[in-house]
Amino acid sequence: MFRRVRFGRRGDYQCRAFVEAVTDYLEGAMPARERARFEYHMTQCDGCERYLAQIRFTAAPAGRLTTHDLDALGPEARSELLDAFREFHSGR
């Protein structure tokens, strides 16, 4: 469905910096000046524009999860997910 993003450089905002800043952009936590550079870069770089679309597509269902959805997983699946989450955040 989506093509692989190639990292490069467009203007004064590098694609790698773009990828690292996507979460701040989507959460509205980016300073106005950096947001403007981010958005300008996106207009010039098809790869980063596609990458942002991929992240939005992937994150949308997760934002609709409810506690009922989590309870429906069952104890084993819930435990595995929590373990994976803890491991990810521990940096292992």
* pLDDT higher than threshold 70 for residue 5: no
DSSP characters over 70-83: HHTT-HHHHHHHHH
Q: Is the dihedral of CA 41, 46, 48, 50 positive or negative?
A: positive
What Cα–Cα distance (Å) separates residue 65 from each residue in 30, 54, 62, 79?
25, 19, 5, 17
- Segment 59-86 mean pLDDT: 82
10-51 pLDDT tens trace: 445 688 888 889 989 998 999 999 999 899 998 989 999 999
How far is the C-alpha of 45 from the C-alpha of 59, rounded, in Å?
A: 21
Q: Give this prediction's pTM.
A: 0.58
